[in-house]
Structure 1
Amino acid sequence: MSAPRLTTIGFDADDTLWQNEQFFRMTEKRFAALLAEHGDHEHIAARLLEAERRNLGLYGFGIKGFTLSMIETAIAVTNGDVPGSVIGEILAAGREMLSHPIEPLPHARETVENLAGSYHLVLITKGDLFDQERKLAQSGMGDLFDAVEIVSDKTAATYARIFSRHGEGPQSSMMVGNSLKSDVIPVIEAGGWGIHVPHELTWAVEHAEAPVAASRFRQVADLGELPALVETIARAG
């Protein structure tokens, strides 16, 4: 019995199609500098990461939750004595992140254009609804996707639902992204192909071991290698 034909390709957005994590790292450095008298950068960053992990279930992924976690961390490390001016700086940093122009990653647009029309393309991303919609609009790639799904988290159940709604199920689908934890492992668990496109910066919460033993795991150096890989998988199917 032949394998199901590849019909649908999902793309992650942040740090797959455009830069994202670098702005969080830049803001983290700015935040640590504001609180330098209460600890070095490593200490402040570790306290912030603890707050982010705690708050994911409440605030979800994205800049707004990150900003609230910075405020919470500032209150904690100063024992409640954080100046109002520092809170103002944190809020300003969050607003700057929400208005920063997107920076497409190499080969992003040409690769999506190459695959559009031949496959059903779905953008699948986590984060704040307004911010993700803003970035997609700025990217100029919105019209290349047949569907957009902004989700609270990426699990095997999430992918099974999305690829059944917008395709012929996960067995006939592929997910492309920079996060092993969110973009690769769960879609393989759902029965699809997981294609890892590494990014030089990965948030600690997204770290995971590569599922190298999985038959539907692949890795490419950048998006420029994706069309050839897709063709190889499609021919084999």
Structure 2
Amino acid sequence: MQNNAQLTTIGFDADDTLWQNEQFFRLTEKRFAALLADHAEEGHISARLLEAEKRNLAIYGFGIKGFTLSMIETAIEITEGRAQASVIAEILAAGRDMLGHPIEALPHARETVEKLAGAYRLLLITKGDLFDQERKLAQSGLGDLFEAVEIVSDKSAATYARIFSRHGDGPEKSMMVGNSLKSDVVPAIEAGGWGVHVPHELTWVLEHVEPPVAAPRFRRIADLSELPGLMESIGKAG
């Protein structure tokens, strides 16, 4: 594949773009609801947990550790302070299980990254807990294909402008690929780059926004196998 002057750098999201992530949160949430089944219905427990997560994002950030602390907080609230130590211990065990879960690569992730690595400068741009993201990247076996890895506390237009200027030729010649419209696509386009949405069947509700269909640099693909062809079509158009 030949590179083109229009695009030189591609940023990839990690969780639910290259490997599974959200499904483990959903399974753990069900485990958590079962623990508190004597105190409230599953729907109510999930709603209270989401409220706690929203409150705590600015304090704990994204990731499993913040999720675990939010579960503990929710358990205390729902039981009106009567949560048993065994329940708290079970929540902590669930968090540890999540942190130790093996990586499950998504379809076409490896072959796509390998195919594009020789033609473009590839970056991994992900948010969440530093240790957990480093662990997952190491287990994925994809680390050597990325010229830089950025683990950030949040993703904004300023974040992408800074990263694409530091590691690439600026956002105008860069593309971000990910499953989250809110974190991966919209802010990358706002920074002046391209945003490619790769939908995942499970996406956290707090990551939902309307697709920027009117933006000239917005694209949507069914899965990562379509990315090399998209790059070629953009190159020809440019």
Query: Could you tell me whether the CA contact under 8 Å between 1:187 and 1:193 is conserved in 2?
Result: yes
Query: Could you tell me whether the CA contact under 8 Å between 1:193 and 1:217 is conserved in 2?
Result: yes
Q: CA RMSD in A?
A: 0.9
Aligned length: 235
Q: Give me the whole-angstrom Cα distance separating, in 2, the residues matched to 1:181 and 1:212.
A: 13
Q: 1:71 is matched with which residue?
A: 72
Q: 1:136 is matched with which residue?
A: 137
Q: Residue by residue, what CA displacement relative to the aligned partner does 1:22-52 show, whole Å, maximum 9, x if unpaired?
A: 0000000000000011111110000000000
Deviation at 1:125, TM superposition (A): 0.1
What are the ranges of 5 or more consecutive residues in structure 1 without an aligned counterpart?
A: none
Q: What does 1:1-237 align with in structure 2 at a 5 Å threshold?
A: 5-237=6-238
Q: Secondary structure at the match of 1:124?
A: strand
Q: Secondary structure at the match of 1:231?
A: helix
TM-score (structure 2 length as normaliser) = 0.98
Q: Give me the whole-angstrom Cα distance separating, in 1, the residues matched to 2:178 and 2:94.
A: 27
What are the ranges of 5 or more consecutive residues in structure 2 without an aligned counterpart?
A: none
Q: Secondary structure at the match of 2:38?
A: helix
1:185 maps to a residue whose letter is V
Q: Report runs of 4+ in structure 1 exceeding 3 Å deviation.
A: none
Q: Residue by residue, what CA displacement relative to the aligned partner does 1:174-198 show, whole Å, maximum 9, x if unpaired?
A: 0000000000000000010000000
Q: Give me the whole-angstrom Cα distance separating, in 2, the residues matched to 1:117 and 1:130.
A: 28
Deviation at 1:235, TM superposition (A): 2.3
Q: Residue by residue, what CA displacement relative to the aligned partner does 1:71-93 show, whole Å, maximum 9, x if unpaired?
A: 00000000000000000000000
Q: Residue by residue, what CA displacement relative to the aligned partner does 1:137-189 show, whole Å, maximum 9, x if unpaired?
A: 00000000000000000000000000000111000000000000000000000
Q: Give me the whole-angstrom Cα distance separating, in 2, the residues matched to 1:4 and 1:209.
A: 30
Q: Give me the whole-angstrom Cα distance separating, in 2, the residues matched to 1:207 and 1:44.
A: 21
In percent, how many aligned pairs have the same letter? Answer: 79
Q: Secondary structure at the match of 1:36?
A: coil
Query: Could you tell me whether the CA contact under 8 Å between 1:156 and 1:186 is conserved in 2?
Result: yes
Deviation at 1:225, TM superposition (A): 0.5
Q: Residue by residue, what CA displacement relative to the aligned partner does 1:108-141 show, whole Å, maximum 9, x if unpaired?
A: 0000000002100000000000000000000000
